[in-house]
DNA sequence: TTGTACGCGTTATCAT
DNA sequence: ATGATAACGCGTACAA
C-alpha cells in the first residue's frame, strides 16, 4: 500500500481528493452523493482517490451547506427510569437505520437544564426533536416551531405546544383494565398507591382507576386512595411501604392493591411480606410497567405494561415522516398506544395464571 | 415588545445582528465570545440587537471555523443492560456541565454498527469519544488516533488501542472479595455460574474466583464451575436456572453459589425456590451488580457492586482533561475502579447482615 | 459530461 | 477599540 503519509494532522478535504483524481470538486461531490451522472472512468478515478486518501465528508460543512444535518435530538428527564432505556433504544435504533445521528440529553428533571438542552440542540441545527417532557410547558420549543422544524412529544403532552405530534400511552385505559380485572376476580375493596399526580400520565392513571371503581359497582373510599404528598420526594419505595402498612392495618383493609408505578409495587411487596400477608390469597396485587424482575417474583406479578418500545419507534418514524414529506404543515396529531394488561398469579383468586 | 416579525423562515445570522447594531461582525463575535475588549456602549448596543433579533450562534459554523465542536460521542453496545443507563447518565451529566453536547449511539451488539457509529461520530467532528467496546478490536478508532483526538474506553480494554485511556472495573478483586467472604462464612463447596467468558471483564471475574478458591484452601472442582456454552445465546436466565438445578442435584451439592451476573442470579433464585432450598441456610448466594430489586428480595441478596457511576464520571472527566490540557501526547493510562462487596443476608451463615 | 465560483455562518488575522 | 476579509469544507447554480 502506498498510502500518502499523513503525518499527525489535518484530514483530507474534498479539494485534495479532486486534485488527486485530477477532477473538480463538483465531480467528487457528484460521485459521493450520486447527485448527477458521472462517466464510469471518472467515477473510478474519484473513488480510487477517495480510498487512497481516506477521505471522509465533513458533516458540519455539509450541514452548513445543505441546511440539514441528518441529526435529531432526543431529550428525556431521566434515563434511569424503568422505561427510559427502552424508549431511547427503540427510537435511536429507528433513527440510526435511517442514517440519522442522535444528539442525546438527559435533563435529570431540572427544568432549567431541559430548556438549555433543547436550545443546545437547536443551536446544533438538529433537523428535529424527540422529547419526553418533564413539566407542563417548554418555552424553548418555540425555537423549533418558528424554524418550522418538527418536534414529537413522547408519553406526555404539553400545554400550548400545538404544532407537535404526541405519542402517548393509554394510561386511562390501562388503569381501567387493571381495575376491571380485579373486580372480575372478585375484589371488593381495591386500594391504589400513587406518587404525586404531577404529570398528565399519572392523572390519567388515577382517572382510569376512579372510573373503573365506579363502573365495577364499588365505591371510591378516600382511605383506600393513597397518593404521595408532593413534599416527600425522598424514597418513593419507602413511601409505598409505609402506605401499604397503613392500608393493611385499617379496620377494614383492602383485598386488592393497584400500585401505579414500580416504586409503589416494590414498597407494597416489602410491606406485605413483612406482615405475612399472602398474595393473592389475602390481597391481590397489580403493578405498572413490565420490568425484568416482575415475572420472577413469587408469585409472579400482574402488571399494566406500557408498549414503550412501540412508542419509541412510532415517535422516531413520525419524525422521519415529517422530515421527508416535509408535511410539517398539518397541526400535530396525538396517537395513543394502548397498554397491555399482563395477568399473572399475583392477581388471580382462583388458580394459576397465564404467562 | 417590538420584535421584528420573522415570518416563517431563516434564523438571524451574526451579520444581521451586526447591521442592526451598526457594527461589524467581528465586533459582534467579540462581544459574544468575550474574545477581545469592546467598549461598554458598543457592547450594550450589540447585546440589545442580539436580544431583539433572537440571534443564536450556529454551532455548525462555529465548529467549522474553530475546528472543535464541543461535542463528544458516547457509544455503547446496549443501553438495556442493567448498568448502561447509569453509565450513560453519569458521563452525560459531567459532559453537559462542561458545556459539551453528547452524540449517542447504541450499537445493539452489532459489530458492524459499532464501527459505523464511530465513523459517523468522527464525520460529525466530535472532539472526543467515550466507548464501551463490544468486542476485542475496533478498527474505526484509528481515525481518532490519526486525528489526535482522545478516546476513553469504559469497562473493557481493547487489543491494540494503546493510545486510549481505559476506565475499568476491578472485576478480579470483585470476585476475589466475594469468594473470600463466602469462605469466611464457612462455605466449603463454592459453585460459580457464568455466561460464556467472551469479554475481558468476564474472564477477570472468573480468574478472581479461581484465585479466591485456592487462596481459601478450597479446591477447584469442575463440576462446580458452570460456564454457559457460547452457542446457547438464548435466555440467559433460563441457563442460570437449569445449571442451578443440576448443581443442587449433584451427589455432593454446593453450599454456596456465586452468580457472576444478574441473569445467573435470577435463574439461581428461581431454581432454589423451586427446590425449596433456603438461603443462606442451605446455600449461600452472592450476585453481581447492585440492581434496584436485589435488596428487596427475601432474603436481601449480597452482591459485588460495580461503581458504575464513578466509572462514567471518571471517563468523562478524563476526556475533558485530555481536551483542555491537550496532553493527548502521553500514552493511554488504565484506571481500575474497585468494586464494593455489599454484604446482605443471602450470604451470612450466622445472623442478619448490614445494609 | 465536467469545471468555476459563490454561499452557508463563524472565527481569526490582519489592518486601522 | 473596531472593521474588512480570508479561511473552514462542502453543495450547487451556472457556465462551458
DSSP per residue, B40-81: HHHHHHHHHHHHHHT----HHHHHHHHS--SEEEEEES-TTS
The H or E element that residue A111 is part of is helix A111-123
Chain A residues within an 8 Å CB radius of B9: 147-148
Q: Which residue has the cell 372510573?
A: A211
Cβ pair B74:A148 closer than 8 A: no
pLDDT in tens, A154-188: 999 898 888 899 999 999 999 999 999 999 999 99
The neighbour count for residue B107, using CB atoms within 10 Å, is 25
Chain B residues within an 8 Å CB radius of A117: 96
Question: How far apart are the C-alpha atoms of A123 and A117, rounded to whole Å?
Answer: 10
Mean pLDDT check: name the lowest of A2-11, A16-25, B175-184.
A2-11
Cβ pair B103:A105 closer than 8 A: no
CB distance A244 to A165 below 8 Å: no
**B125 conformational bin, left if phi > 0, alpha if psi -120 to 50, beta if neither:** left
**Selected residue of A4, A14, A60 to mutate for chain B interface (largest B Cβ count, 10 A):** A60
- pLDDT value, residue A2: 36
Residue A166 CA distance to nucleotide D15 C1' (Å): 48
Question: How far apart are the C-alpha atoms of B205 and B339, rounded to whole Å?
Answer: 11
Q: How far is A22 from chain B (nearest CA, A)?
A: 24
Cα end-to-end span (Å), chain A: 59
Q: pLDDT grade, residue A74 (50/70/90)?
A: very high
Q: Is the pLDDT of residue B94 over 80?
A: yes
- B-contacting residues of A 147-186, CB under 8 Å? 147-148
Nucleotide nearest A29, from its CA to each C1': D11
pLDDT in tens, B155-165: 998 988 878 99
Q: Is B66 on the interface with A (CB under 8 A)?
A: no
Q: Which three cell numbers stand for residue A43?
A: 467515477
pLDDT in tens, B108-137: 768 899 999 999 999 999 999 999 999 889
Q: What angle do CA B63, B64, B68 make, to 5 degrees?
A: 40
Q: pLDDT grade, residue A352 (50/70/90)?
A: very low
Q: Is the pLDDT of residue A350 over 80?
A: no
Q: Is B113 on the interface with A (CB under 8 A)?
A: yes
- B-contacting residues of A 224-263, CB under 8 Å? 237
Q: What is the mean pLDDT of chain A?
A: 91
Q: Which residue of B has its CA nearest to A105?
A: B102
Average pLDDT over residues A208-234: 87
Q: Which residue of A has its CA nearest to B99?
A: A120
Average pLDDT over residues B250-258: 97
Q: pLDDT grade, residue A283 (50/70/90)?
A: very high
Q: Is the pLDDT of residue B351 over 70?
A: no
- pLDDT value, residue A320: 97
Between B8, B78, B104, which is nearest A102 by CB? B104
Chain A residues within an 8 Å CB radius of B85: 79-80, 84-85
Q: Is the pLDDT of residue A315 over 70?
A: yes
Between A69, A86, A104, which is nearest B104 by CB? A104
- pLDDT value, residue A128: 98
Q: Is the pLDDT of residue B84 over 60?
A: yes
Q: Is A109 on the interface with B (CB under 8 A)?
A: no
Q: How far is A213 from chain B (nearest CA, A)?
A: 30
Of A100, A99, A117, the C-alpha closest to A108 is A117
Cβ pair A237:B86 closer than 8 A: no
pLDDT in tens, A102-160: 999 999 768 899 999 999 999 999 999 999 998 889 999 999 999 999 999 999 989 88
Chain A residues within an 8 Å CB radius of B123: 56-59
Chain A residues within an 8 Å CB radius of B122: 56
Q: Is A44 on the interface with B (CB under 8 A)?
A: no
Going by the DSSP 8-state scheme, the letter that residue B305 receives in this structure is: E
Reduce the DSSP state of residue B153 to 3 states and report it.
strand
Cis ω before A339 (30° cut-off from 0) = no
> A170: number of CA atoms within 13 Å, CB side?
16
- pLDDT value, residue B206: 98
Residue A24 CA distance to nucleotide D15 C1' (Å): 14
Which residue is nearest to the C1' sugar atom of D1, using CA?
A: B38
Cβ pair B85:A89 closer than 8 A: no
CB distance A339 to A171 below 8 Å: yes
Chain A residues within an 8 Å CB radius of B113: 96
The neighbour count for residue B327, using CB atoms within 10 Å, is 10
Q: Chain C: nucleotides under 7 Å from a protein CB?
A: 1-5, 7-13
Give the list of residues 6+ apart from residue B151 with CB closer than 8 angstroms, or none: B128, B129, B130, B131, B141, B144, B145, B161, B163, B164, B165
Q: Which three cell numbers stand for residue A132?
A: 419526553
- pLDDT value, residue B61: 98
pLDDT in tens, B238-249: 899 999 999 999
Q: What is the mean pLDDT of chain B?
A: 91
Of B64, B2, B3, B53, the C-alpha closest to B28 is B53
Nucleotide nearest A66, from its CA to each C1': D11
pLDDT in tens, A255-269: 999 999 988 998 999
pLDDT in tens, B180-213: 999 999 999 999 999 988 888 899 999 999 999 9
- pLDDT value, residue B236: 81
- pLDDT value, residue B314: 98
Question: What pTM was computed for the model?
Answer: 0.92
pLDDT in tens, B329-349: 677 899 999 999 999 999 998
Q: Is the pLDDT of residue A231 over 90?
A: no
- pLDDT value, residue A233: 55
- pLDDT value, residue B350: 66
Nucleotide nearest A24, from its CA to each C1': C3
- pLDDT value, residue A334: 95
DSSP letters along B181-219, please? HHHHTT-SSEEEEE----SHHHHHHHHHHHHHHHHTT--
Q: Is the pLDDT of residue B285 over 70?
A: yes
DSSP letters along A9-67, please? S----HHHHHHHHTS-HHHHHHHHHT-S---HHHHHHHHHHHHHHT----HHHHHHHHS
Q: What is the largest CA-CA distance in chain B?
A: 91
Nucleotide nearest A65, from its CA to each C1': C8
- pLDDT value, residue B355: 42
Q: Which residue has the cell 400545554?
A: A159
Nucleotide nearest B15, from its CA to each C1': C9
Question: How far apart are the C-alpha atoms of B107 and B85, rounded to whole Å?
Answer: 14
Surface-to-core class of residue A207, CB atoms within 10 Å of its CB (0-12 exposed, 13-18 middle, 19+ buried) = middle
Inter-axis angle of helices A59-66 and B59-66, nearest 10: 140
Q: pLDDT grade, residue A305 (50/70/90)?
A: very high
Q: Is the pLDDT of residue A200 over 80?
A: yes
Average pLDDT over residues B319-329: 81
Amino acid at each position: 500500500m502506498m498510502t500518502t503519509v499523513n503525518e499527525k494532522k489535518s484530514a483530507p478535504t474534498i479539494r485534495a481528493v479532486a486534485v488527486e483524481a485530477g477532477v473538480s470538486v463538483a465531480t467528487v461531490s457528484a460521485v459521493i452523493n450520486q447527485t448527477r451522472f458521472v462517466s464510469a472512468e471518472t467515477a473510478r478515478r474519484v473513488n480510487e482517490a477517495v480510498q487512497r486518501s481516506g477521505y471522509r465528508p465533513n458533516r458540519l460543512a455539509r450541514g452548513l451547506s445543505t441546511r440539514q444535518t441528518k441529526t435529531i435530538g432526543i431529550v428525556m428527564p431521566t434515563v434511569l427510569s424503568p422505561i427510559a432505556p427502552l424508549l431511547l433504544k427503540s427510537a435511536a435504533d429507528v433513527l440510526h437505520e435511517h442514517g440519522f445521528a442522535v444528539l442525546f440529553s438527559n435533563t435529570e428533571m431540572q427544568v432549567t437544564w431541559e430548556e438549555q438542552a433543547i436550545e443546545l440542540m437547536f443551536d446544533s441545527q438538529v433537523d428535529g426533536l424527540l422529547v419526553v417532557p418533564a413539566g407542563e410547558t417548554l418555552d424553548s420549543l418555540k425555537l423549533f416551531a418558528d424554524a418550522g422544524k418538527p418536534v414529537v412529544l413522547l408519553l406526555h403532552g404539553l400545554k400550548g405546544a400545538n404544532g407537535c405530534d404526541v405519542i402517548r400511552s393509554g394510561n386511562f385505559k390501562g388503569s381501567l383494565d387493571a381495575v376491571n380485572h380485579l373486580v372480575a376476580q372478585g375484589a371488593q375493596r381495591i386500594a391504589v398507591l400513587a406518587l404525586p399526580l404531577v404529570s398528565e400520565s399519572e392523572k390519567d392513571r388515577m382517572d382510569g382507576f376512579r372510573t373503573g371503581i365506579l363502573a365495577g359497582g364499588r365505591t371510591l373510599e378516600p382511605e383506600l386512595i393513597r397518593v404521595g404528598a408532593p413534599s416527600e420526594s425522598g424514597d418513593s419505595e419507602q413511601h409505598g411501604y409505609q402506605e401499604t402498612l397503613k392500608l393493611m392495618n385499617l379496620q377494614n383493609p383492602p383485598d386488592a392493591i393497584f400500585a401505579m408505578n414500580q416504586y409503589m409495587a416494590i414498597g407494597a411487596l416489602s410491606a406485605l411480606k413483612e406482615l405475612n400477608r399472602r398474595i393473592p390469597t389475602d390481597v391481590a396485587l397489580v403493578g405498572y410497567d413490565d420490568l425484568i424482575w416482575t415475572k420472577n417474583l413469587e408469585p409472579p406479578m400482574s402488571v399494566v405494561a406500557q408498549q414503550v418500545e412501540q412508542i419509541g419507534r412510532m415517535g422516531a418514524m413520525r419524525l422521519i415522516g415529517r422530515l421527508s414529506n416535509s408535511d410539517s404543515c398539518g397541526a400535530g396529531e396525538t396517537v395513543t398506544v394502548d397498554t397491555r394488561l399482563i395477568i399473572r398469579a399475583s392477581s388471580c383468586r382462583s388458580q394459576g395464571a397465564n404467562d
